[in-house]
Amino acid sequence: MTESVLVTRALVPEAMRALDGRCELDLYEGPPEAIPRDELLRRAAGKDGLLTLLTEKVDAELLDAAGPQLKIVANHAVGFDNIDVPACTQRGVLVTNTPDVLTEATADLAWALILASVRRVAEGDRFLRSRQPWVWGPSMMLGHDMSRKTLGIAGCGRIGGAVARRATGFGMRLIYHDPIRLPSDVEQSLGLAWVEFDTLLAESDIISIHAPLTPDTRHLFDADAFAKMKPTAVLVNTARGPIVDEPALAEALRSGQIFAAGLDVYEREPAVEEALLDLDNVTLLPHLGSATIETRTAMGLLTVENLLAGLADRRPPSLLNPEALSRR
């Protein structure tokens, strides 16, 4: 019997080809917005597998709508804050994500935002496109040096570590805060020192966020946090939007409480806080962290591999809830 699968948005062609003939495919091909919730609930009914994106909320309601035959939710993202994993486990539904394959691309993009924010790259581009008259000047559009500055990593897993590795050439001091401290040999090899969160805020010239979104990290960067940062500091977020209180960030940037920010993710994604759109000292990208041809191909293929393994009652390579295996 062929297993049936709902895919909520077309993946890159190579990954779609890997699905060819391997299952009965129901592909959502609606407008560019995410699949509407009522359509998701309707089309999930009776499916053996769901291949979801970070835009779909996978909760008890969706799992119930899918039905007891559902074997696997294969998420096309490393982050899985869109999925109620305990609700899946309780129903014996496997959950997978796409770790490792996007680490380097996301770390690269964090650095793109760091440099763009510190050196006012996007602002300079916008300025020239405005066709205003200009001439080189000693005080024109000054940013900050990178060398000898302190880079703070908020949440230091795979991607945070890759961001730290890239700092070597800039001659920076590296500090991090994570509730789980890295083994000391890893700290040493990356040149990272663990600090309390308040120390990270007070001492960093640049803070790059690489924490997962959890109840503990929601609004970790709020008005209080910005008040503890240097007025020359830069904040970069390539993790999840709700870790930053966006209205509070807009106010900190507007008032000069911090120097600049670079954002790839948003609190109410895809909406962007209106106040940010009017500020020149924030660089805004549309969630491009993993958006390279190589990385999206690897993510797509890994998602399909996870999905097909789950459908065939094999253990998927990136299984998040092994306890679900014993409940099936």
Interface ranges with ligand DGY (CB under 6 A): 54, 77-79, 102, 289-290
Tell me if residue 305 is catalytic.
no
Task: Answer yes or no: 269 catalytic.
Answer: yes
Which residues, in sequence order, are CB contacts of 13 under 8 Å at separation 6+?
Answer: none
Q: Nearest approach, Cβ of 279 to ligand DGY (angstroms)?
A: 23
CB of 102 or CB of 206, closer to ligand DGY: 102
Q: What is d(CA 287, CA 292) in angstroms, rounded to the nearest whole number?
A: 12
Q: Which is nearer to ligand DGY, 72 or 233 (CB)?
A: 72
- In this structure, the chain runs to a length of 328
Q: 245 near 222, Cβ under 8 Å?
A: yes
Q: How far is the CB of 296 from ligand DGY (least distance, A)?
A: 8
Q: Which two tokens stand for residue 158?
A: 């795979």
Give me the catalytic one of 43, 76, 287, 296: 287
How far is residue 202 CA from its own chain's centroid?
Answer: 24
In this structure, are residues 127 and 107 in contact, taking their beta carbons and an 8 Å threshold? no
> In angstroms, rounded to a whole number, what is the distance separating the alpha carbons of residues 88 and 192?
37
Token pair in block for residue 44: 């999930």
Taking a C-beta distance cutoff of 8 angstroms, is the pair 6, 50 a contact?
A: yes
Q: Around Cβ 168, how many Cβ atoms within 10 Å?
A: 11
Smallest gap from Cβ 102 to ligand DGY, in A, equals 5
The answer to whether residue 219 is catalytic is no
Least distance from C-beta 295 to ligand DGY, angstroms? 8
- Which of 143/289 has CB closer to ligand DGY? 289
Residue with smaller CB distance to ligand DGY, 268 or 327: 268
Please give the positions annotated as active site: 240, 269, 287
